[in-house]
A and B are shown apart, each in its own frame.
Chain A
Amino acid sequence: DTGVSQDPRHKITKRGQNVTFRCDPISEHNRLYWYRQTLGQGPEFLTYFQNEAQLEKSRLLSDRFSAERPKGSFSTLEIQRTEQGDSAMYLCASSSDGGKDEQYFGPGTRLTVT
């Protein structure tokens, strides 16, 4: 098991463009999470999936953001019409069932919107 992977690691885009990020969780984990982390802050929860079902979305996830996990394995996070305020590190994590189980984080995708 190679852990949680994310692709790409870095993305530079112009304002108004759409971007899509991918996350591959640890294979036996059925829970997957997306977080956003800006400079000087801790990760902020965006959304979470149990298998293919998206069970919760943060108010931070505006209509321009959409996340999918179509087969309960990898997930994608798409941002439409990017804005400079979207510049951040986007972190993906996965865990097995149970609140006590820690979340395993990927290396993140750093998005820069110019």
Chain B
Amino acid sequence: AQSVTQLGSHVSVSEGALVLLRCNYSSSVPPYLFWYVQYPNQGLQLLLKYTSAATLVKGINGFEAEFKKSETSFHLTKPSAHMSDAAEYFCAVNLSGGYQKVTFGIGTKLQVIP
């Protein structure tokens, strides 16, 4: 079985402040982990992915995430928030070994305050 838990359905940060979106996973085998972003009335766009290579993963738009096995976490960060980062962010897990059923978290809506 696999699952992800996103802590905080809504997060507000000031423009220029650190963005930290939390994700913890549960997986019976080494996981593949993903962060997606969704803008209103659009599909999901991949920000970054972890596939058992480097534990610190850099993605698009200045986002990065660190895989911490001991904490079963894959938190998403960005040093300085921009107004255009306001969106909903989803953490997702997929079991390694080719099994393709991706499980998504409930999402975290990020608000950026000018």
Contact = CB atoms under 8 A, between A and B. Distances in A.
Interface of A: 4, 31, 33, 40-45, 48, 56, 91, 93, 95, 97-100, 102-108, 110
B28 interface: no
B9 A102 contact: no
Contacts, number: 63
B34 A102 contact: yes
Contact of A91 (B9, B34, B44, B45): B44
Given A107-B43, A110-B41, A99 B106 contact: no
Contacts of B78: none
A102 B101 contact: no
Interface of B: 9, 32, 34, 36, 41-46, 49, 51-52, 90, 92, 94-107
B104 A42 contact: yes
Given A91-B44, A105-B45, A107-B43, A97 B102 contact: no
A100 B96 contact: yes
Contacts of A110: 41
A45 B101 CA distance: 7
Contacts of A102: 34, 46, 49
Nearest to B109: A40
B9 to A, nearest CB: 7
9 tightest A-B contacts by CB? A42-B104, A105-B43, A100-B51, A105-B44, A99-B98, A107-B43, A102-B46, A43-B104, A100-B32
Contact of A42 (B41, B46, B90, B99): B90
Contacts of A104: 46
B106 A40 contact: yes
Nearest to B101: A45
A48 B106 contact: no
Contacts of B34: 102
10 contacts: A31-B100, A42-B92, A42-B105, A45-B101, A99-B32, A100-B52, A100-B96, A102-B34, A107-B43, A110-B41
